């Protein structure tokens, strides 16, 4: 029976009930040792009814073994692995040691864990219980929490219990579990131990109503003390240690067995190690020759109520017992126990036991830990690998090798989403590197990447530009492009040109030479882009996007970014997915797919915050601010732009600061505040490195021209057009020529230029903007009949895109042109959420539910859930109908359609 826990049980019941209804969620029980978290978890699990139960408990002895807890919780459901998308399935199999290969990216693994739990939840739901989370190995913790944050449409309840203030990164709902209410504690003591009310109240005061302390103390009091006929002992039995006296009362053999059990959990291994240690102790002069067997020691511990068997594993009845065992033995005895266990184990377990037995530095032990770290890293356990490498570095006597291992530990910590730990390890490595130029450069490159992702991008340029390798020069050029430092990009391109020809060299050199006015630059970029069919990595496609962008071909750049996203989601690219999604979201926006861009940026923002990639957080906030501007959502636009600028400006990330500033200028333009928009665009074009960016200036030039014309600044409009023409001189795609034609139409009031733009446009959203501008001119020129087709097409497109300010503007113009202005029927797909719309689009591309799940980091069941919601919204019943509908809705609306 539970006493005084109705509030906590109510919280758990609500999470379970919602999960049963298909709205998954997670809750963390947090409290001190002995407060009753485990009892609450057991009570909640018992209330799940037909829901499936998976559970694991963190074990201190296994906290350094990658995926130990995940293996325990998922093992009963590994039979469902074949239902997962292939990349997710392979990642989970590798993590659990079921297949050779590497788990790769932690996002793939986390998605795989989510998908497997979703499969296990069918049909009645699933409760996943994780006790003693503070001791769950880092690799398992990361994967489980990744899933816990994404249970929105799954029939899954995840219940965690954690001691004290142990961190739970990105924790969902947290319930603080404290001592029992006084009345409930008194009732419990009276019911279970016949404690008198007065004594019970005194015990509650002395223990803070901690249930474990109350039970342990009450069990040791005499009947007279319980009844209040004799005073309570001072101090109370057990004191703050609770179990210390019971451990002290054990025989030497039982204490030895308990020590081994504190270091390992498998019964057979503990028995063998305890017997071996007992035999060696009996052989030592001066020691008691009467060594008990391991089984006798186990029986003694069970009779004392300190341990219990769960299958083939030994469990302490409470975690504090393990603490009491450690306090009762000397450091030398702990090292001896580790040494014996190292003799009886292999692989990762042997490596960690050797480390536990080590006294001082030992290269042999360090090497074994490095091997364990490599195995963990290959399986996707970056956090565990970082811990192993850091410990290996402590054991390494030679400074160069120690610095190398610290550097590798820093990289693993970074990829495991722990930037603070990564920077501390790297700083220590830098101090040890000495005068070894090669190692110093390796450390500098890692440090530069850290700065680029979460620190000062200008500092990243300085660090990375010190290297001479093509990889470092490329990283430096990437950092300089984030800052918007044109001079640095030109110099780095010149240096890259000295390296042998190849895709990366041609791209980096071509960008720099083009910016520097060298005629060879565009040719190098064209040569690089001619090799896109050979590309395989997401990072390569991003460089291809940069090459296209430098040529002025934003539509081709968007296509390359989209390819990068598709590859990055399924390739396991070691933690860089949030960065790739920056460019995917921008590409979707530039292509006029605003809803998709919104969904990608929301996903990227969540991943970037989890990973600690501050500059990527700024990127997604800036893009979301632009989208809010297009919707006319002033409050959201201004808030997200401010948040982005608060990161980007001090970090000198001019690319993202420029986009955030553009969002505010675009908001003014959308709302017809041309003078204010013109001022903002002028300031944006004049902004220097770190606060603005040439690419942002170039991409937003059509908006700047429109604002200048609207503000009556003809000279400013002509200057902006001239700058845009120079920046786009090498562009060859139809859309780039269409935008130039539109700008000429604005500046020169040329209907022919507008008509040329409409003929060339491949982006339906930009075509609608051109049509609106032309329609306005025709209507004001007293040619309403000619204006209506343009205005109607613009209105239809803006309504579809959710660009409400422009839709209202087009609607007003259409009414002024003599049309009633009756709202066009809403696009059928407007009924879908951004996530549903993305899934519908992928269905139209012919992808299966598994393939869609792999692309969107979802479970296949979540995809099916969304399809189940999509069909009735659209009045259809099959994938074929959905695909046909999406294709029809995607078809651009032309003026001929409106006639």
711-749 pLDDT, tens digit per residue, is 999 999 999 999 999 988 888 889 999 999 999 999 999
Both tokens of 812, joined, read: 């007003």
Per-residue model confidence (pLDDT) at position 240: 44
Question: For the chain, how big is the Rg over CA atoms in Å?
Answer: 33
CA–CA distance, 582 with 621 (Å, rounded to integer): 10
Write the pLDDT tens digit of every residue in 13-56. Answer: 999 999 999 999 999 999 988 899 999 999 999 999 999 999 99
In three-state secondary structure terms, 316 is: strand
pLDDT surpasses 50 at 898:
no
Mean pLDDT, residues 576-602 taken together = 90
Beta carbons of 40 and 5 less than 8 angstroms apart: yes
- Distance between CA atoms of residues 542 and 579, nearest Å: 10
Phi, psi of 266 (to 5 degrees): -70, 130
Binned at pLDDT 50, 70 and 90, residue 102 comes out as low
Query: Between β-strands 307-310 and 313-316, what pairing exists: parallel, antiparallel or unpaired?
Result: antiparallel
| Residue-wise pLDDT tens digits, 394-449 | 999 999 999 999 999 999 998 888 888 999 999 999 999 887 889 999 999 999 99
Helices (H) and strands (E) in the chain, counts: 48, 7
Report pTM.
0.87
Write the CB contacts of 651 (distance below 8 Å, at least 6 apart in sequence).
455, 456, 457, 614, 615, 618
- Compute the distance between CA of residue 790 and CA of residue 794 in angstroms, rounded to an integer: 6
Q: What is the pLDDT of residue 289?
A: 46
Average pLDDT of span 267-288 = 79
Instruction: Look at residue 286 in the predicted model and tell me its pLDDT.
Output: 54
Give yes or no for residue 281 having a pLDDT over 80.
no
Beta strands in 264-375 (DSSP E): 307-310, 313-316
* Residue 896 reports pLDDT greater than 90: no
Query: Of 169, 174, 164, 160, whose CA–CA distance to 54 is shortest?
Result: 160
Q: What are phi and psi of 745, to 5 degrees?
A: -60, -40
Q: How far apart are CA 508 and CA 274, in angstroms?
A: 62
State the Cα–Cα distance between residues 38 and 538, nearest whole angstrom. 45
pLDDT at 895 over 50: no
Q: Which residue has the higher pLDDT, 825 or 303?
A: 303
d(CA 230, CA 196): 12
More confident residue, 248 or 625: 625
640 CB neighbour count, 10 Å cutoff? 25
Contact at 8 Å (CB) between 51 and 127?
Answer: yes
Tokens 């019943």, located at residue: 877
Q: Give percent of the chain with pLDDT exceeding 90.
A: 68
Report yes or no: 343 and 280 within 8 Å, Cβ to Cβ.
no
Query: Which contiguous run of DSSP H or E holds residue 160?
Result: strand 156-163
Sign of CA pseudo-dihedral 263, 266, 270, 272: negative
Residue the block writes with tokens 């909640």? 44
Query: HEC profile for 2-71?
Result: CCCCHHHHHHHHHHHHHHHCCCCEEEEEEECCCCCHHHHHHHHHHCCCCCEEEEEECCHHHCCCCCHHHH
DSSP H helical ranges for 803-833: 804-816
Average pLDDT, the chain: 90
CA 298, CA 429: separation in Å to the nearest integer?
Answer: 45
Q: How many CB atoms lie within 10 A of CB 234?
A: 6
130, 48 contact by CB (below 8 A): no
Give the pLDDT score at 101.
Answer: 66
Mean pLDDT of 547-571: 87
Query: 630-681 pLDDT, tens per residue?
Result: 999 999 999 999 999 999 999 999 999 999 999 999 999 999 999 999 999 9
């Amino acid at each position: 029976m539970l006493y005084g826990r109705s509030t906590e049980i109510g919280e758990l019941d609500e999470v379970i009930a919602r999960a049963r209804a298909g709205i998954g969620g997670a809750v963390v029980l947090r409290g001190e040792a002995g407060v009753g978290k485990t009892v609450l978890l057991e009570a909640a699990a018992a209330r799940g009814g037909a829901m499936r139960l998976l559970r694991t408990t963190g074990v201190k002895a296994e906290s350094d073994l990658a995926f130990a807890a995940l293996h325990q919780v998922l093992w009963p459901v590994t039979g469902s692995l074949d239902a997962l998308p292939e990349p997710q399935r392979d990642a989970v199999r590798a993590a659990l040691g079921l297949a050779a290969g590497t788990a790769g990216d932690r996002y793939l693994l986390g998605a795989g864990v989510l998908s497997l739990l979703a499969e296990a939840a069918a049909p009645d739901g699933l409760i996943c219980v994780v006790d003693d989370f503070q001791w769950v190995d880092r690799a398992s913790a990361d994967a489980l929490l990744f899933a816990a944050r994404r249970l929105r449409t799954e029939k899954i309840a995840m219940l965690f219990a954690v001691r004290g203030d142990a961190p739970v990164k990105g924790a969902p709902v947290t319930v603080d579990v404290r001592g029992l209410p006084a009345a409930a504690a008194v009732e419990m003591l009276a019911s279970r131990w016949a404690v008198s009310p007065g004594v019970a109240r005194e015990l509650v005061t002395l223990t803070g109503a901690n249930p474990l302390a109350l039970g342990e103390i009450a069990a040791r009091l005499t009947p007279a003390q319980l009844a209040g006929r004799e005073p309570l002992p001072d101090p109370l039995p057990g004191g703050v240690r609770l179990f210390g006296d019971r451990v002290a009362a054990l025989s030497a053999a039982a204490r030895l067995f308990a020590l081994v059990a504190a270091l390992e959990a498998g019964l057979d291994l503990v028995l063998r190690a305890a017997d071996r240690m007992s035999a060696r102790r009996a052989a030592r002069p001066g020691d008691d020759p009467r060594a008990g067997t391991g089984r006798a020691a186990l029986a003694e511990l069970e009779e004392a109520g300190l341990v219990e068997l769960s299958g083939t594993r030994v469990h302490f009845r409470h975690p504090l017992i393990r603490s009491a065992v450690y306090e009762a033995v000397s450091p030398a005895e702990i090292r001896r126990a580790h040494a014996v266990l190292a003799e009886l184990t292999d692989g990762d377990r042997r490596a960690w036991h050797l480390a536990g037995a080590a006294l001082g530095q030992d290269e042999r032990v360090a090497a074994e830990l490095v091997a364990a770290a490599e195995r963990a890293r290959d399986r996707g356990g970056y956090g565990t690998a970082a811990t192993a490498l850091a410990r290996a570095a402590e054991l390494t006597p030679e400074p160069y090798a120690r610095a190398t291992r610290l550097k590798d530990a820093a990289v693993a910590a970074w990829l495991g989403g722990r930037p603070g730990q990564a920077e501390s390890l790297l700083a220590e490595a830098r101090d040890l590197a000495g005068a070894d130029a090669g190692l110093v450069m390796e450390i500098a490159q890692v440090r530069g990447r850290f700065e680029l992702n979460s620190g000062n991008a200008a500092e990243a340029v300085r660090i990375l530009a010190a290297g001479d390798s093509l990889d470092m020069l490329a990283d430096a050029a990437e950092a300089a492009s984030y800052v918007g430092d044109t001079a640095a990009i030109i110099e780095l391109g010149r240096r890259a040109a000295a390296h042998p020809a190849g895709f990366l060299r041609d791209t980096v050199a071509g960008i720099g030479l083009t910016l520097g006015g060298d005629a060879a630059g565009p040719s190098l970029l064209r040569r690089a882009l001619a090799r896109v069919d050979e590309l395989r990595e997401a990072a390569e496609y991003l460089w291809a996007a940069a090459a296209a962008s430098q040529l002025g071909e934003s539509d081709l750049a968007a296509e390359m970014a989209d390819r990068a996203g598709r590859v990055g989601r399924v390739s396991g690219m070691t933690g860089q997915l949030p960065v790739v999604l920056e460019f995917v979201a921008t590409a979707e926006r530039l292509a006029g797919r605003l809803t998709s861009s919104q969904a990608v940026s929301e996903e990227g923002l969540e991943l970037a915050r989890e990973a600690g990639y501050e500059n990527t957080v700024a990127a997604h906030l800036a893009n979301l601010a632009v989208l809010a501007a297009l919707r006319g959502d002033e409050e959201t636009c201004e808030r997200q732009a401010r948040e982005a600028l608060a990161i980007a400006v001090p970090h000198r990330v001019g690319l993202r600061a420029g986009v955030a500033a553009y969002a505010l200028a675009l908001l003014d333009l959308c709302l017809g505040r041309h003078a204010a928009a013109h001022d903002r665009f002028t300031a944006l074009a004049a902004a220097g490195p770190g606060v603005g960016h040439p690419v942002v200036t170039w991409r937003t030039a059509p908006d700047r021209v429109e604002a200048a014309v609207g503000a009556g600044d003809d000279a400013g409009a002509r200057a902006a057009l001239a700058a845009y023409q120079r920046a786009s001189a090498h562009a060859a795609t139809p859309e780039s020529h269409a935008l130039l034609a539109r700008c000429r139409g604005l500046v020169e009031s040329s209907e022919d230029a507008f008509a040329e733009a409409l003929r060339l446009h491949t982006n339906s959203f930009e075509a609608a903007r051109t049509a609106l501008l032309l329609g306005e001119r025709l209507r004001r020129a007293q040619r309403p009949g000619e204006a209506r087709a343009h205005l109607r097409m613009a209105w239809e497109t803006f309504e579809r895109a959710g660009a409400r300010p422009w839709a209202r503007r087009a609607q007003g113009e259409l009414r002024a042109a003599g049309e009633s202005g009756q709202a066009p029927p809403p696009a059928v797909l407007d009924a879908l959420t951004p996530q549903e719309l993305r899934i519908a689009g992928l269905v139209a591309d012919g992808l299966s539910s598994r393939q869609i799940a792999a692309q969107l980091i979802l479970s296949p069941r979540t995809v099916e859930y969304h399809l189940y919601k999509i069909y009735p919204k659209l009045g259809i019943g099959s994938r074929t109908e959905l695909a046909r509908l999406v294709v029809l809705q995607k078809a651009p609306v032309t003026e001929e359609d409106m006639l």
